Chains A and B, each alone.
Chain A
Amino acid sequence: MSVSTLDTPARSANTRLTAALPWLAITAMLVILPLLFSSNSMISTLNYLGTMAIFALSYNVLLGQTGLLSLGHGTFFGLGGFIATHAILHMAEAGLSFPLPLIPAIGGFGALILGVFGGWLASGRGGMPFAMITLGLAELVYAAAALFPSIYGSEEGIAIDRMELGASFGMDYGPTVDIYVIIAVWFLICAGILYYFSKTPLGLLTNAVRDNAERIEFLGFSARRVRMLAYAIAAAVAGVAGSLAALNFEIMTVNEMGAATCMLVLLMTYIGGTKHFFGPVLGAIVIGLMKIWLSDISPAWMMYFGLLFIFVVMVQPAGLAGILMDGIALARSGTAAAQAPMLALIGLAGLMTLIGTIILIELAYRAGLDAPLGPEITVLGLPLNTGSVLSWGLGAVLAGGGIAAMRPLLDRLDTLRHTLSQGETA
């Protein structure tokens, strides 16, 4: 038998269409989204999510592809942003005309150069030493910022006027939607480049370094060189994302490259899923929305953030994308209907646990941190009181009942699936 190991351009148009499908869907979505959500604040939210999606994709070059845990990826987001900011300020001062949409290329290129240098320092080894060195470098750059107020601004950061470079491509960059166009196009460029990169020889070698860094040395390659190149590429794309953030907010502050940003991108990428190319995008959208909306609704949003992270780590290490893929596999397996009642019960138990947990957390926050606001609180439409045993009991019963029911239900699902798969083979 012969298994073709070569993808020739002539290889059936069908497979190429299948490969192009997600990209077409994403492009269509990028066009439709601003039409659906046309208010200024919604476009602004989309801009933020797009920026974070690019940032998370760049981080996954390190985490998912090369198996490197960087604790300082925010540095390049921030540095890219500052390079873009200064590029705009200097060009505006010199009266140069430069198309604003190309500014992220400057930020990305600057971050690439700095990334080569940072990668050279950090990539001698993987694992713990790599994580510690990236953390150290990030702290170093952050601390150094205080010494150079002319570069990083002081606490209020460095502000720009994105209209100063003048109009180009038929846009004057005043309206938020103009920035949306820039971000959407850059998203497609960055995602396309990173996807292509993952298929190149170097992309393959990054996977090899993740799996078994020692072995590639015995195949003629330097694991250090591979790590360094991956680091630089990730830095460059993070620099593009930082530049876009600067264009969107018209300000860059030192906080953008602090520890919070470094952690945020780690959480987005991991929760989204490191094993699928678009997992980090999913993570950026979910976490980004949580950050924007949940922080308006609840003082405990950071707590939910942490719980979601723990849930993903414990239940599905392949992240939200992994859960999605499991769902698709289930739908395709043809046994979805047979499993539906059991899955519905499990979903119900999960929902009970979720509601119970939310009630308990909200009550606890109101009773503690926000006690001055009074004991009455409405959670998910339920009128509760921090002084009432009934309120606490409701939360505890729901959460406890859900958790208690979960284990036997999951066991039954396992049994059911076992029976179903046996029926298939028989």
Chain B
Amino acid sequence: MTNALELRDLKKSFGPVEIIRGVNLDLRAGERHALIGPNGAGKSTLFHLISGRIAPTSGQILFQGQNIAGKPPAEIVRAGLSRSFQITNIFPQMSVLDNLRCAVLWKLGHRYSIFRQTPTLPDVAIECERLLDQLGLTRRAHDTADSLTYPEQRALELGLAVASGANTLLLDEPMAGMNHSETEAALQLIMKVTEGKTLLMVEHDMGVIFEMADRISVLVYGQIIATGTPQEIRANRAVQEAYLGTTEEEAA
């Protein structure tokens, strides 16, 4: 099986403090991969490195064989790797439809065009209608994004990442702050919209992780201490010591 994404000895320091201390990780094409780890382990920093928000100090990030380390976010998205954010990061004063329009413009080749009016572009309209339907936001299409409920905003956040047409998605805690039933709905939504895509996801809810992930990697103090199937991770002694033990008992 080919790898969609490979991290090779990736490091990031902020001043004298090394946050990511040599991460090696393979993401297989088409798999759902969960990244777990205690608070402050560097999960979000790792996402920022991969998505180009910050540049790594050293190491390689190979996306489909190309080293994308240190490239600007826009180039990484155009190459086919997009992300969502832990803290909702949408266009608050714009309508839901306009949010999605922005997200599909690049992949449909309209880019910075000034020669057509966006509402008259048939391909944009079709793609946005499909996305609105998938996300369950059709009724809210013309409302401003900041008027959405929290789960709707999270759905839109996910939608922006998916709409850009990337085949590999980084999802940073897509269920953060949701209650049980909202989490269940969000999980179904993620499974639906990311079908056939490669997924790397940070999540805290162990129930969600063991339900959806093909493989799990555990990040502790800036290093991956284990990677494996949910069963392997459950059984891994180092993981239990560092992180899982208590959660496992709670879940049982």
Contact = CB atoms under 8 A, between A and B. Distances in A.
Given A199-B118, A201-B105, A202-B112, A211 B94 contact: yes
Size bracket of the A interface: 35 or more
B114 A200 contact: yes
B94 A207 contact: yes
Contacts of A216: 102
Contact of A220 (B74, B93, B113, B119): B74
For chain A, what secondary structure do more than half of its interface residues adopt (helix, strand, loop), or is it mixed?
helix
Contacts of B110: 201
A9 B121 CA distance: 11
A1 interface: yes
Given A207-B94, A219-B103, A196 B117 contact: yes
B90 interface: yes
A116 to B, nearest CB: 13
B132 to A, nearest CB: 7
Interface string B160-204: 110110000000000000000000000000000000000000000
A417 interface: no
A298 interface: no
Contact of A7 (B107, B111, B117): B117
Contacts of A265: none
Contacts of B97: 5
Contact of B113 (A6, A7, A200): A200
Contacts of A5: 97, 119, 125, 128-129, 132, 141
B14 interface: no
A212 interface: yes
Nearest to A206: B112
Contacts of A8: 120, 122
B89 interface: yes
Contact of B72 (A208, A212, A217): A217
Given A1-B138, A8-B120, A226-B112, A218 B51 contact: yes
B123 to A, nearest CB: 10
Nearest to B91: A211
A6 B122 contact: yes
A197 interface: yes
Most chain A CB neighbours (cut-off 10 Å) among B116, B118, B163: B118
A214 interface: yes
A53 interface: no
Contacts of A196: 117
Contact of A202 (B114, B129, B142): B114
Interface string A275-301: 000000000000000000000000000
A148 B130 CA distance: 59
Given A201-B111, A204-B98, A220-B164, A6 B74 contact: no
17 contacts: A3-B138, A5-B119, A197-B114, A199-B119, A201-B105, A201-B114, A202-B113, A202-B114, A211-B92, A211-B94, A217-B73, A218-B51, A218-B73, A218-B160, A220-B74, A220-B107, A221-B106
Given A5-B125, A207-B98, A214 B113 contact: no
Interface string B61-102: 000000000001110011000110000011111100110011
A215 interface: yes
B interface, size bucket: 35 or more
Given A201-B118, A215-B89, A215-B160, A6 B105 contact: no
Interface string A176-215: 0000000000000000000011011111110110111011
A8 B110 CA distance: 18
A166 B128 CA distance: 54
Contacts of A208: 91, 94, 98, 102
A212 B87 CA distance: 13
B118 A207 contact: no
A222 interface: yes
A225 interface: yes
Contacts of B120: 6-9
Contacts of B116: 200-201
A229 interface: yes
Contacts of B126: 6
Contacts of B89: 212, 214-215, 218
Contact of A204 (B101, B107, B115, B164): B101
Contacts of A1: 138-139
A212 B92 contact: yes
Contacts of B138: 1-3
A214 B82 CA distance: 14
B91 A205 contact: no
Contacts of B74: 217-222
Counting from the closest, the 10 A-B pairs by CB-CB distance are: A6-B125, A220-B106, A7-B119, A211-B91, A199-B117, A217-B73, A220-B77, A201-B113, A5-B125, A201-B110
Contacts of B125: 4-6
A219 B102 contact: yes
A211 B117 contact: no
Nearest to B119: A7
Contact of A219 (B77, B92, B117): B77
A207 B91 contact: yes
B128 A215 contact: no
Nearest to B127: A5
A225 B114 CA distance: 14
A219 to B, nearest CB: 5
B177 to A, nearest CB: 19
Interface in A1-56: 1-9
A207 B112 CA distance: 13
A189 B91 CA distance: 30
B83 to A, nearest CB: 6
Contacts of B142: 3
Contact of A218 (B82, B93, B114, B122): B82
B90 to A, nearest CB: 7
